[in-house]
Amino acid sequence: MAKSGHKGISRIDQPSRNTFGWYVRVMFNGKQVSKFFSDKLHGGKKQALDAAVKHRDQAEKKLGRPRTDRQVIARQTRNTSGIVGVQRRTKVMQTKDGERVVSKYYVVTWNPEPGRVKTIFVPVDKYGERGALLKACSIRREKEKQIYGSVLKSNWEASLSKIVS
């Protein structure tokens, strides 16, 4: 948490440059919005902070980022399914008699609270490829609603249509 007590808002005090105010920076889905709120232009330190908080909230809404003080990751380059929090995995095991067994499944991950990760496994053998993916996505969306109050604004539909078609 920033010293302001508000995520994404930092205090700038540079007497040598006669610069005093609050700096807002919001990043989400590879996009960034930033703006400086001068104490002098806003009638004081408190009023500038109030304006900065209001701007931050509007910028988050515009970018589709849920209003939370937690870290929110909507895209990751290492993701194998194209959908945040859903990965396709294959596990190869050997039985005692030397037979090779292949398990395919989707793993749904989420953070119910900071520092804690939970997972659910959705087997492809049980639901089929398309059914397992849709079930995994449904679980992930439900977890996002529980944590953030809404589903993250991302490319769910585009990613799903590419994968299941």
Mean pLDDT of the chain: 80
The mean pLDDT of 50-76, rounded to a whole number, is 75
Residue 1: pLDDT over 50 = no
The mean pLDDT of 59-71, rounded to a whole number, is 72
Grade residue 52 by pLDDT with cuts at 50, 70 and 90: very high
pLDDT tens digit sequence for 73-117: 555 555 555 677 888 888 888 888 888 988 999 999 888 877 788
pLDDT at res. 74: 54
Count of CB atoms situated within 10 Å of the CB of 75: 14
Say what angle helices 124-148 and 156-164 make with each other, to 10 degrees.
180
DSSP string computed for 3-44:
TTSSTTEEEEEEGGGTEEEEEEEEEETTEEEEEEEEHHHHTS
Cα(58)–Cα(156) distance, rounded to whole angstroms? 23
Tokens of 147: 């944590």
pLDDT at res. 125: 92
Helix (H, G, I), strand (E, B) or coil at 91: strand
pLDDT tens digit sequence for 111-143: 887 778 899 999 999 999 999 999 998 898 888
Grade residue 162 by pLDDT with cuts at 50, 70 and 90: low
pLDDT at res. 65: 74
Which residues neighbour 87 within 8 Å (Cβ) at sequence distance 6 or greater? 79, 80, 81, 106, 107, 109
| CA–CA–CA angle 82, 84, 89 (5° rounding) | 65
Least confidently predicted of 59-63, 86-90, 108-112, 149-153: 149-153
Instruction: Residue count of the chain, please give it.
Output: 165
Between residues 63 and 163, the one the model is more confident about: 63
Residue 163: pLDDT over 70 = no
